Amino acid sequence: MLTRAQVVGIAWLMSLLGTFWAGWSWRGDIAAVTGTRTELKQSKGETKAVEQARSVEHSKNERLHEIGTQYEAARSENESLPSIVVAELRNGNYRLRDELASCETRNLSSAAATASQRDAGAVSREEIAGAAVRIARDSDDQLRACQAVVLADRK
């Protein structure tokens, strides 16, 4: 049989072991909670960074879509440009410079050219002028759109 001192000693030892085990367990729980909080903060930071990157990408995509829409609108406006230039030339509102007006008549001698050939040359010059204006306008619009894309990308 155990004496009273032995029972008290065993009880004290058991309470000491229980306290040690509870402290060890509590320490592990605190470490797990701290680790979880750290992971949560990192996840929130990563989520915020991804959201900001998506926001920037979304605004750039909207700007590029806007630039594309403006370019296509300008391009569709240019479809009727040659006929407008031809009409304005025929009405006398526009005049061709001598370099363009004489480009096709160099091949014809004035003595050999009939009136119909001269008229055909004038019509051809007007159509060439209209096409040249459209090509120039298309090129300008495309250059403006490319520059706008570069500027939007740099922002």
Q: 80: which DSSP letter?
A: G
pLDDT digits (tens, 9 = 90+) for 54-101: 998 999 899 889 989 998 888 888 788 888 888 888 888 877 766 555
Across the range 8-19, mean pLDDT stands at 88
* pLDDT for 102: 56
The dihedral built from the CA positions of residue 39, 45, 47 and 53, taken in this order, carries a sign that is: negative
State how far the Cα of 72 lies from the Cα of 68, in Å rounded to an integer: 6
Sequence ranges of the domains in the chain: 4-154
What is the identity of the amino acid at 41?
A: K
What is the identity of the amino acid at 22?
A: A
Computed on alpha carbons and rounded to an integer, the radius of gyration of the chain in Å comes to: 43
State how far the Cα of 84 lies from the Cα of 95, in Å rounded to an integer: 13
